[in-house]
Amino acid sequence: MWPQAAEYSLKAIESSPKLTLILMQDSMVYKQIFTSPFFKYSLRDEMNDAKSKAYVVLLSSLHNMGQDAKMILISKIAIEDQNLTDKGAFYYYAGLSYFEMNQMEKAFLLFQKSLSIDQNNPDVYFYMASIYEKAGQLQQAKQLLEICYALHQKNDPRFPYEREVNLRFF
C-alpha cells in the first residue's frame, strides 16, 4: 500500500507542485507517507530544486536576449538564497555576464567559483580559456580547451565539433 500511495503522491507533485504542497502540508496522509522511513523525500527540497532550475532557465533566457545587467542581478539573488541548489550555474551565468561586458577579471573569478562547485561544466572551461587566450597565455588556454573538449565528449558523445575546432587557438 505504501509504495502505491507514494507513487500517486509523486504523480500529483509532478503535475502541480505548488497546489500539491498547499494541499498536503497539513494532511495526515502526507505526514504518514513522507515521514516514514520507507520514503525519504522532502517536498521542500523538491520545491527548492524546481525554483533553482527556474532561475537557471531565466538566466539562460536573459543571456540569449543579451540582458547582461539583469543576469548579474538575478544571479546575485539566486546565489544569496541559501535554499537554492545549482550555485555553480548561478556563478557561471554571473561570470558570463561580465565576460560579455568585457570585464574579464570579474568574469574569471566567477568562473573559478563556479568550477569550485561544479567541475563538469565544459562551458566554464571554454570561457576561462578564452580569457587566457585574450591575455596571451596560450598554454593555459590550450589546457582548459582540452578539458572543455573532454567534458563535452564525456557529457555528450555526439558533440558536433572536431578536436581541431575546439583547439582553434593552436
Residue 168: alpha-carbon gap to chain centroid: 27
Q: Each residue of 63-87: pLDDT tens digit?
A: 989 999 999 999 999 999 999 989 9
pTM: 0.70
- Residue 151, pLDDT > 70, answer yes
Kindly tell me the burial class for residue 45, based on how many C-beta atoms sit within 10 Å of its own C-beta (0-12, 13-18, 19 or more).
exposed
Give residue 129's pLDDT band: very low, low, confident or very high (50, 70, 90).
very high
Contact call for residues 49 and 64 (beta carbons, < 8 A): no
Give residue 131's pLDDT band: very low, low, confident or very high (50, 70, 90).
very high
Q: Each residue of 26-53: pLDDT tens digit?
A: 555 555 566 566 666 667 777 888 888 8
Domain coordinates in residue numbering, the chain: 1-41
Which distant-in-sequence residues (6+ apart) come within 8 Å of 168 by Cβ?
none
